[in-house]
Amino acid sequence: MTSYKAFATVYDRLMEDMPYDGWLQFAEGVWSRYGKPNHVVDLGCGTGAIAIPLAQRGYTVTGIDLSSEMLRIAAEKEQLSKESNEASSESQSITWLQQNMSSWQSVEAADSVISFCDCLNYVIDEDELLATLYATYNGLREGGSFIFDVHPISRFQQYAEQAPFVYDEDGIAYIWNSEYDEDEHIIEHQLAIFVAEEDDEHYRRIDELHVQRAYHPIWLQRALQEVGFREINIFADFQFKSYNEQSERLFFVAIK
Q: Do 61 and 161 belong together in one domain?
A: no
On whether residue 145 sits in a domain, the answer given is: yes
On whether residue 52 sits in a domain, the answer given is: yes
| pLDDT over 60 (residue 166) | yes
Q: Do 129 and 162 belong together in one domain?
A: no
| pLDDT over 80 (residue 138) | yes
- The CATH number given to whatever domain includes residue 49 is 3.40.50.150
Q: Do 147 and 239 belong together in one domain?
A: yes
21-66 confidence digits (pLDDT tens):
999 999 999 999 999 999 999 999 999 999 999 999 999 999 999 9
Contact 113, 45 (CB under 8 A): no
Q: Do 92 and 195 belong together in one domain?
A: no
On whether residue 192 sits in a domain, the answer given is: yes
Number of domains in the chain: 2
236-256 confidence digits (pLDDT tens):
999 999 999 899 999 999 999
Q: Do 165 and 146 belong together in one domain?
A: no
Q: Beta-carbon neighbour count of residue 226 at 10 Å?
A: 11
**pTM metric for this prediction:** 0.93
Q: 72 — phi, psi (to 5°)?
A: -60, -45
- The CATH number given to whatever domain includes residue 174 is 2.20.25.110
67-119 confidence digits (pLDDT tens):
999 999 999 999 988 887 655 667 888 999 999 999 999 999 999 999 999 99
Q: Do 91 and 169 belong together in one domain?
A: no
Calculate the CA dihedral of residues 26, 32, 38, 44 and round it to 10 degrees.
Answer: -20
Q: Go through 158-197 and write b for each residue having 16 or more CB atoms within 10 A of its CB, e for each that does not.
A: ebeeebeeeeeeeebebebebebeeeebbbebbbebbbee
Report the alpha-carbon distance of residue 38 to residue 242 in Å, rounded: 28
- The one-letter amino acid code at 195 reads V
Residue length of the chain: 256
On whether residue 2 sits in a domain, the answer given is: no
178-235 confidence digits (pLDDT tens):
999 999 999 999 999 999 887 877 899 999 999 999 999 999 999 999 999 999 999 9
On whether residue 1 sits in a domain, the answer given is: no
Q: Beta-carbon neighbour count of residue 135 at 10 Å?
A: 20
Q: Do 197 and 224 belong together in one domain?
A: no
Contact 234, 134 (CB under 8 A): no
On whether residue 133 sits in a domain, the answer given is: yes
Contact 253, 232 (CB under 8 A): yes
Q: CA torsion sign, 200 to 201 to 204 to 205?
A: positive
Q: Do 142 and 164 belong together in one domain?
A: no
| Residue 88: per-residue pLDDT | 65
Q: Do 37 and 145 belong together in one domain?
A: yes
Calculate the CA dihedral of residues 112, 237, 8, 61 and round it to 10 degrees.
Answer: -20
Q: Go through 61-97 and write b for each residue having 16 or more CB atoms within 10 A of its CB, e for each that does not.
A: bbbbbbbebbbebbbebbeebeeeeeeeeebbebbbb
| Residue 1: per-residue pLDDT | 43
On whether residue 220 sits in a domain, the answer given is: yes
Name the residue range of residue 93's domain. 8-152+215-255
Report the alpha-carbon distance of residue 171 to residue 189 in Å, rounded: 22
Q: Do 73 and 189 belong together in one domain?
A: no
On whether residue 3 sits in a domain, the answer given is: no
Q: Do 207 and 229 belong together in one domain?
A: no
Q: Do 130 and 158 belong together in one domain?
A: no
